[in-house]
Amino acid sequence: MAKFNLKRGNQQDVVTAEGAPGFTREPRTELFLLGVSNMVGEDTFYEGVADRDARFRELVAAVAVADPDWFARFVRWLRTGAMLRSASVVAALEGARAQVAAGIPGSRAVVDSALQRADEPGEAIAYWLGRHGRAMPKPVKRGIADAAVRLYHERSLLKYDADGSAVRFGDVIDLTHPTARDERQGDLFRHALDRRHKRDNPLPQSLTVLAARAELMALPVERRAEVTDPAVLGAAGMTWEALAGWRQTAMDAAAWEAVIPNMGYLALLRNLRNFDRAGVSDAVAEAVAARLADPDEVARSRVLPMRYLSAYNAAPSLRWAYPLEKALRQALANVPALDARTLILIDTSGSMNSAFSRDGTLRCWDAATVFGLALDARAREATVVSFSNASAVFPAVAGESVLAAVRRFKEGGFFYGRGTETGKAVREHYDRHDRVVILTDEQAHWQGAHDVTAAVPARVPVYTWNLAGYRVGHAPTAGNRHTFGGLSDAAFAMIPLIEAGSRGHWPF
């Protein structure tokens, strides 16, 4: 028996949410598309949260059993490549459950690979308890324990072991019994258990960061604003969030300037507006700007390009515009430099106004525009089109930065917000281009045609990036028609790989 019914990938027996002829996909492709666009527990424009999450779990269970090697690579990439936390944790746990039931080994390593931040072992247990109860298979326990050994240290305990968490560090240790890697971590594990069970045991001497934090906490509130030495705050593992609560006053310029040297890259990016509101000095702002634009910092941060657009939109001061543009260029370094002529179609229909980021600050059409214009900047000759019911070519401006182009796109009225007439846009704007890139949720309206890409010759590749992960697509995935999910540098790098004749259709 074949692993998958491959006919399903080209089957035209359904319609999109707007009534156009649709195409279902083989399970791995459907899982990939849903996984990279899935904010677990969130509604989308056409699909409710319960239906979407159930479809995700069902696909995970089927693929984990049918193709365990592919599934293991997919989960690791989903967390470390696509940088999606909730989707990767749910995928790892539900896949492990299905594999244990089918007698398939290897799920311990899959669970471990999905947990990359110190709060995630607790998140994984909370999800399992809430969905499947206390009977936890040994591979799931051991995978979570492996992650705890890798991720638990003094600073992570201070940051993530909060009283408000349903599953604390001590609970993870109680339930999974991790083996400490050394004596100091053993002391940490025992202290985490003491914290959880409110035991009044003395703090082990090896835990110097916790001791420094305890010393700061003992200071009277009225004296805390006097502590402005970054070295003192850093030795106590004081994050900016912790500092704000500890001082019990608003974060003024002195407070920000004390903690900025110890802040991570993403924390800096998220707080540019706060720095300006507090009035941090130009010298400090210059140091922040230098970090934001530093190529090594950008590479280590793994920040997705949409974050720079969000920061650019939020920051009131122009002093951040140039470093953010430089950072975005660094983040887009892996976007391919496309030769020949490229048609780039950006879906700005009403459904693309759905949330792309969990906090709602970026919409799907924001993300599509960032990448569409980034591809334009990297292409030798490109035509960029915004489409909904109507469509229009977005005029290029020589030497314009990507972020400035995004703002001009928005201010110029290129977000239409109506229907999704994809086939019409393809027919109107395809003019012997060498490739077509469509950034969309694929929910095309009825076009009176069997396929929205029918106007493009079969020899010309068409790449669809599906930003929403719906089950039904607007075109078959076969031959020179390729459909991917999400937006990442790894995904875009597949364009030249495919055109060079590579058979590796997955970014992992």
Count of alpha carbons within 13 angstroms of residue 443, beta-carbon side: 21
Please tell me the predicted confidence (pLDDT) of residue 477: 58
DSSP state of 479: T
Please tell me the predicted confidence (pLDDT) of residue 299: 87
Please tell me the predicted confidence (pLDDT) of residue 367: 82
DSSP state of 296: H
Q: Where are the domains of the chain?
A: 26-197, 219-260, 264-330, 335-503
Task: Find, among 77, 82, 154, 80, the residue nearest to 118 by Cα.
Answer: 154
| pLDDT by 10s per residue, the chain, length 508 | 232 222 334 444 554 444 444 445 578 877 876 776 554 444 333 345 677 789 899 999 999 999 999 999 999 988 988 778 888 999 999 999 999 999 999 999 999 999 999 999 999 999 999 999 999 999 999 999 999 999 999 999 999 999 889 999 999 999 999 999 999 999 999 999 999 999 999 999 999 999 999 999 999 999 999 999 999 999 999 999 999 999 999 999 999 999 999 999 999 999 999 999 999 999 999 999 999 999 999 988 878 777 888 888 888 788 998 999 899 888 877 677 888 999 999 999 887 887 776 666 678 888 889 889 988 988 899 999 999 989 999 999 988 888 889 889 989 989 887 887 888 999 999 999 999 999 987 665 554 444 677 889 988 988 888 775 444 445 555 567 877 766 665 666 667 766 665 444 677 8
Please tell me the predicted confidence (pLDDT) of residue 143: 98
Pairing of strands 435-440, 14-15: unpaired
Q: How far apart are CA 90 and CA 77, in angstroms?
A: 14
Q: How far apart are CA 95 and CA 197, in angstroms?
A: 32
In the chain, count of helices (H) and strands (E)?
25, 8
Superfamily of domain 335-503, CATH level 4 = von Willebrand factor, type A domain (3.40.50.410)
Burial of residue 114 (CB within 10 Å: 0-12, 13-18, 19+) is buried
Please tell me the predicted confidence (pLDDT) of residue 128: 97
Q: How far apart are CA 26 and CA 375, in angstroms?
A: 28
